[in-house]
Chains A and B, each alone.
Chain A
Amino acid sequence: GAVVSQHPSWVICKSGTSVKIECRSLDFQATTMFWYRQFPKQSLMLMATSNEGSKATYEQGVEKDKFLINHASLTLSTLTVTSAHPEDSSFYICSASVNYGYTFGSGTRLTVV
């Protein structure tokens, strides 16, 4: 089946630094990648939708200048959390739609200290 590889699985960074999260589609081409965020004990909320070769679409309340999304190829989408703050600490997970549904990355646990 279609696999999305997400890295890193966890990261700890200092406040003010930037963190890049990568999602690679290993055996298929992902025209669209969805980025979700999950705060502790909560559900997944869509942050943005990235489309290969075009600007990402951000959900209401998500700062596009803070959460930079790049989808430069059909197999790679990246999310960069810029100038991270402790309140950005969360579980970030990407997802791509495939013929039979959706496939998810394994998620990235971001802790900002």
Chain B
Amino acid sequence: SQQGEEDPQALSIQEGENATMNCSYKTSINNLQWYRQNSGRGLVHLILIRSNEREKHSGRLRVTLDTSKKSSSLLITASRAADTASYFCATDEGSQGNLIFGKGTKLSVKP
């Protein structure tokens, strides 16, 4: 399975600032999802955006999807120290019906 790219690989910001992470993928998709992973822990599903949607909001999260550019972005507004984690995008491109994960962005929010 081929992984998509995410940038930045690491992002360090101050509490209260906004954090933007980007993700690109390779083939056509039905949907794209964003997950959060605290260090050494399991995955937490954040948001799913379908291929016919361009933008979606959930609390302080805003996700955009541009299928023409095969890219998505995750914006976390008014970040908190508790948002410190790794964030992964995942698409349903897998040949087995599996998700394919991006390489992830490690976000560090300093209090």
Partner of B43 from the list A34, A41, A93, A97 (CB cut-off 8 Å) is A93
Secondary structure dominating the interface of A: strand
Distance A44 CA – B3 CA, assembled complex (angstroms)? 9
Task: Check if B25 is an interface residue, CB within 8 A of chain A.
Answer: no
Q: How far is the CB of B5 from chain A (nearest CB, A)?
A: 11
Residues of B in contact (CB 8 Å), total: 22
Docked-complex contact A102 and B104, CB < 8 angstroms: no
A44 nearest CB neighbor, chain B only? B101
Distance A33 CA – B88 CA, assembled complex (angstroms)? 20
Decide yes or no: A43 and B42 within 8 Å by CB, A34-B96, A49-B96, A59-B1 being known contacts. Answer: no
A-chain residues with CB within 8 Å of residue B33 when the two chains form the complex: 101-102
Docked-complex contact A91 and B40, CB < 8 angstroms: yes
B-chain residues with CB within 8 Å of residue A36 when the two chains form the complex: 101
Q: How far is the CB of A2 from chain B (nearest CB, A)?
A: 12
Task: Check if A29 is an interface residue, CB within 8 A of chain B.
Answer: no
Distance A102 CA – B45 CA, assembled complex (angstroms)? 9
How big is the A interface, by class? 20 to 34
Docked-complex contact A43 and B104, CB < 8 angstroms: yes
The digit string for B34-46, where 1 denotes a CB below 8 A from any CB of A, is: 0000001111010
What are 18 sample pairs from A and B whose C-beta atoms fall under 8 A apart? A32-B97, A34-B96, A42-B103, A43-B102, A43-B104, A45-B3, A46-B1, A46-B94, A46-B96, A46-B100, A59-B1, A93-B43, A95-B98, A95-B99, A97-B97, A101-B45, A102-B33, A104-B42
Distance A57 CA – B45 CA, assembled complex (angstroms)? 25
